[in-house]
Chain A
């Protein structure tokens, strides 16, 4: 009888009542309303975000009464979010920090908008090679040759000089920069960044002949340099300067072929709820003084050519006119088309045990 009463009691109204309360619980955790004066910024975390807050967001955006909510994480997650929100009536992010290649990719997927530069007065100071219609370039650098100057008396002058028995077992690569290494291999063999197919055999050769060590993060790479595990490293100039500041005995060589460049900056998602605040943010990013402070703290070169850097600091962190002219910017369409295949090739042929 008890069993029967249970079966008989399985009725619609009860089910609805239970379900309704469950949904109500879920709804309690819904998104905070994007009140005017509040914006969501999607950025990398760590020291990158600390510097962004200290030198730019707090003095130039939050001081104007705009409250910033930070959505921090690595770029793959943040890119996925942008893509997922493309089809929603309203997105959740107002400004997204990306590098130049990812910005192009997001633009080609129609996830970010062209910018109205009339609302960004500081936009006129952006140096010419970095200008894009959909991207606020902020800080840039290039992949240079970083060597332990105590142990490498004659540092390699060009990327191609690293393929040298002298450096067997002493070369350090950072796994997440794989696409830069792919383009470098193309640059060595063909003089451009778009012949990776041909060039990458050089990377396979590097792997088999000179056994480079591969590290997951920049921090691990720094530790390996400090411990003497590796003496020759291909990484951004800004990272090299940071490590020198941390006390490592390093020398930085600009490669003869020209350095493969990377630009970090920000974009406006199509479905940004608070576009006005986003424009305030973009103009703040390009502020001459803020940019100078940020460049000094991060060692990345400023995308604002008029940033108020002292001549000494500019000489140290920025690229010379000649170096800047030789910077190799990726062919973004080519990168976007091939990067998935490159990653697989890299894992099969270089990042393996």
Chain B
């Protein structure tokens, strides 16, 4: 029933007899969908299309971009071991930080859902959401203080007599630590929402049939939580592939990842065509890996659940 007829009925007018023709009433769908679609087209697809076109242009030093239809920017990427190294570094830190987030995040999410009382749960969720309210750069700056040559971590290590000095800043390890700290809340919250939906009695039933904790985890919990694990991992992976602030601030000038490299080409070198090509290579790599992993996991999930 449409809104208009409900309103009429509510106003006390005569109910419309069922046999009468329905008054022509426009559904609000178009009005609801229109702005969103328009904004997506205008603000996402449009710029992407322009960027794609730029990536086939030619860069002439001193003249910026010259209109052309050439694949030389892509060829340059695949012919140059330096840029492949940058992509590999980015993939490596993304894989490692997503994996660490999963391993660290799952027990926390499980605790939140199954073991914590309502007050502890509320407190933990606030603690998880709180860092998300601060900018990435702010949190990363704090890590710089901790990881710096004379920072907290270094002082602690020398205080405990483990080593004289701990030089973590400007290393890949430091970047991974920074990424995990940024991404962990996303992983936990995603896992938590999926674990909430799993019926506890399934675990109890498995237990009553003699399954130990490991078997319950492996045969019941993980398969059922797989959509959440997948979503959380993909989220973390995508975010770390595109991370900018953490690699720049914690990695320093000698650490090269894809997103900062795109920025360097576009803004510092003013080489928009190559910057655009790098952006597309980054986007496609992320897309192929996430879609591929999802497809693979779903196939395995089907086999698992059979």
Which A residues contact B (CB, under 8 angstroms)?
5-6, 8-15, 17-19, 21-22, 76-77, 79-80, 83, 105, 108-109, 175, 214-216, 227, 229, 333, 336-341, 343-344, 347-348, 351-353
- Determine whether the beta carbon of B61 is less than 8 Å from that of A353: no
List 24 A-B residue pairs with CB atoms under 8 Å apart, sorted by A's residue number. Answer: A6-B29, A9-B26, A9-B27, A11-B26, A15-B34, A18-B31, A18-B35, A19-B38, A22-B34, A22-B38, A76-B270, A77-B267, A80-B266, A105-B62, A214-B254, A216-B249, A216-B252, A216-B253, A227-B150, A337-B61, A339-B61, A340-B61, A340-B270, A353-B171
Q: A9-B25, A352-B256 in contact; A108/B62 too (CB < 8 A)?
A: yes
Within 8 A of A (CB), among B14-48: 25-35, 38-39
A15 to B149, CA, bound (A): 59
A22 to B33, CA, bound (A): 11
One of A13, A83, A336, A347 near B62 (C-beta < 8 A): A336
A contact residues around B170 at 8 Å (CB) = 353
Residue B271 is within 8 A (CB to CB) of chain A in the complex: yes
A261 to B2, CA, bound (A): 75
B contact residues around A340 at 8 Å (CB) = 59, 61, 269-271
Q: A6-B29, A11-B26, A14-B26 in contact; A347/B149 too (CB < 8 A)?
A: no
B contact residues around A18 at 8 Å (CB) = 30-35
- Determine whether the beta carbon of A214 is less than 8 Å from that of B61: no
Within 8 A of A (CB), among B240-267: 248-249, 252-256, 264, 266-267
Residue B268 is within 8 A (CB to CB) of chain A in the complex: yes
- Determine whether the beta carbon of A76 is less than 8 Å from that of B267: yes
A18 to B34, CA, bound (A): 6
Residue B82 is within 8 A (CB to CB) of chain A in the complex: yes
Within 8 A of A (CB), among B264-293: 264, 266-271
One of A17, A19, A80, A339 near B267 (C-beta < 8 A): A80
A215 to B148, CA, bound (A): 13
- Determine whether the beta carbon of A344 is less than 8 Å from that of B2: no
A contact residues around B132 at 8 Å (CB) = none
A contact residues around B25 at 8 Å (CB) = 5, 9
B contact residues around A214 at 8 Å (CB) = 252-254
Q: How far is the CB of A104 from chain B (nearest CB, A)?
A: 10
- Determine whether the beta carbon of A347 is less than 8 Å from that of B256: yes
B contact residues around A10 at 8 Å (CB) = 27, 29-30
Q: A21-B35, A214-B254, A339-B269 in contact; A5/B30 too (CB < 8 A)?
A: no
- Determine whether the beta carbon of B29 is less than 8 Å from that of A9: yes
B contact residues around A215 at 8 Å (CB) = 252-253
A contact residues around B34 at 8 Å (CB) = 14-15, 18-19, 22
- Determine whether the beta carbon of B27 is less than 8 Å from that of A19: no
B contact residues around A5 at 8 Å (CB) = 2, 25, 27
A77 to B270, CA, bound (A): 10
A140 to B39, CA, bound (A): 46
A198 to B203, CA, bound (A): 71
- Determine whether the beta carbon of B61 is less than 8 Å from that of A227: no
